């Protein structure tokens, strides 16, 4: 029994020695593997300092600069013709509605003018006859005083003069009526065509030919859509930073000419709404191609100044899962180190950061395989 026990003890001791030798050699081997790990290919870019716009984000609906209701001045007449329809563009002063036909008004004007001339001649004759009648009446009075003529003859002459006065008054009243009628006809001749007060786009038509005109019912509605107007509502602190004439850059909504639609602050209203603590900004946006339509929703930025900022490509930023915190991998001496950063506004493909230095090289692709200390191989971009 004793030899067996000795042999077993020696076997256990030898196994322990082998185990300790194995464990003792594992750590150096792991360190050696880490030291000689394969470099991960990455693309990089350099942190840069650039001058960027300081801006306020805004949004609003595009509306026409002006809206005009075209209404006839003549009421109670049958509308003869409407020359425009919804969607038509109308130059200023073009006639859009004919309330009356001109060929029915002109003959009436000529007829009334002739009647007025005839009445004037009649009035001249009546005045002459009246003067003669008054002279005769005065003569009869003198004869009656001398008893040369009878009082009856004088009274007959007086009655004749009264009739001449009445006739003259009637002719004069008729002349006034004719002149009033002529004035009305000339007014109808002037306004029987309803003209567009502004150059604009027809967006609505309320009346068709054959309807009765009314000076309170618009026939068509025009809008001035170049430029368009955007009303923007900002908090009282932001309104205080906006000045008339500042540029406003809206995201393009399908108009030709580039990525942005550039407008100008036309008015900064001087009142703050007590209930909402907001102020109103009016922005005018050129619309030469008429691509902006009423009601188009626009997002943009009011440029309030310029500043210097550090920028990195957006793809260099990695967000911690479930947070709003970001980090980048900075490259130095062929290895990467994770650097936490604070982020700001986005400018195209670049974003403002804080926590880095100008010229620092950061990884823009391949971050998913990286950790602090890992070796990397730059395949494109700025050199570390």
Beta pairing, strands 95-98 & 193-195: antiparallel
Report the chain's mean pLDDT, rounded to a whole number: 83
Same domain, residue pair 159 and 110? yes
Q: Is the pLDDT of residue 191 over 80?
A: no
Q: Which residues pair with 246 in a beta bridge?
A: none
pTM over 0.75: no
Expressed as residue numbers, the domain containing 352 is 40-50+309-381
Structure tokens at 76: 């109670």
| CA dihedral of residues 74, 92, 294, 255 (deg, nearest 10) | 160
- Contact present, 43 and 316 (Cβ < 8 Å): no
Q: Are residues 239 and 303 in the same domain?
A: yes
For residues 318 and 364, the answer to whether their CB atoms sit within 8 Å is: no
Give residue-wise pLDDT tens across range 218-234.
Answer: 989 999 999 999 999 99
Specify whether 292 is located in the same domain as 172: no
On whether both 368 and 338 belong to a single domain, the answer is yes
Do 251 and 116 belong together in one domain?
no
pLDDT digits (tens, 9 = 90+) for 161-179: 999 999 999 999 999 998 8
pLDDT of residue 24: 45
Work out how many domains the chain is built from and give that number.
Answer: 4
Q: Please indicate, yes or no, whether residues 87 and 199 belong to a single structural domain of this protein.
A: yes
Tell me, yes or no, whether 241 and 303 share the same domain. Answer: yes
- Angle at which helix 102-145 crosses helix 151-191, to 10 degrees, equals 160
Do 263 and 249 share a structural domain? yes
- 84 and 119 assigned to the same domain: no
pLDDT in tens, 316-346: 999 998 888 999 999 999 999 999 999 888 8
């Amino acid at each position: 029994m004793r030899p067996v026990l000795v042999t077993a003890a020696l076997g256990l001791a030898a196994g322990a020695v082998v185990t300790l030798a194995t464990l003792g050699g594992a750590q150096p081997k792991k360190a050696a593997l880490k030291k000689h790990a394969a470099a991960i290919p990455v693309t990089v870019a350099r942190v840069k300092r650039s001058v960027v716009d300081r801006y306020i984000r805004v949004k609003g609906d595009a509306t026409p600069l002006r809206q005009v209701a075209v209404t006839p001045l003549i009421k109670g007449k049958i509308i003869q013709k409407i020359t425009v329809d919804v969607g038509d563009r109308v130059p200023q002063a073009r006639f859009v509605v004919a309330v009356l036909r001109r060929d029915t008004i002109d003959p009436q004007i000529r007829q009334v003018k002739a009647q007025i001339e005839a009445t004037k001649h009649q009035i001249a004759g009546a005045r002459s006859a009246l003067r003669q009648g008054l002279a005769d009446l005065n003569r009869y009075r003198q004869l009656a005083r001398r008893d040369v003529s009878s009082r009856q003859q004088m009274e007959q002459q007086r009655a004749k003069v009264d009739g001449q006065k009445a006739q003259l008054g009637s002719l004069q009243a008729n002349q006034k009526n004719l002149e009033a009628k002529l004035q009305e006809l000339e007014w109808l001749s002037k306004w029987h065509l309803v003209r567009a007060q502004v150059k604009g786009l027809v967006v609505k038509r309320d009346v068709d030919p054959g309807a009765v005109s009314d000076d309170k019912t618009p026939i068509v509605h025009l809008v001035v859509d170049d430029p368009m107007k955007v009303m923007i509502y900002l908090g009282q602190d932001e309104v205080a930073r906006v000045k008339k004439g500042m540029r406003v850059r809206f995201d393009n909504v399908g108009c030709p000419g580039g990525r942005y639609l550039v407008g100008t602050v036309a008015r900064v209203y001087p009142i703050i709404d007590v209930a909402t603590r907001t102020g109103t900004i009016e922005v005018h946006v050129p619309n030469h191609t008429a691509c902006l339509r009423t009601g188009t929703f626009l997002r943009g930025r009011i440029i309030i100044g310029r500043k210097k900022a550090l920028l990195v490509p957006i793809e260099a930023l990695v967000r911690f899962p479930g947070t709003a915190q970001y980090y980048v991998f900075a490259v130095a001496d062929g290895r990467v180190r994770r650097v936490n950063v604070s982020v700001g506004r986005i400018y195209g493909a670049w974003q403002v950061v804080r926590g880095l230095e100008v010229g620092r090289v950061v990884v823009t692709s391949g971050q998913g395989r990286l950790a602090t200390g890992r070796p990397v191989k730059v395949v494109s971009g700025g050199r570390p």
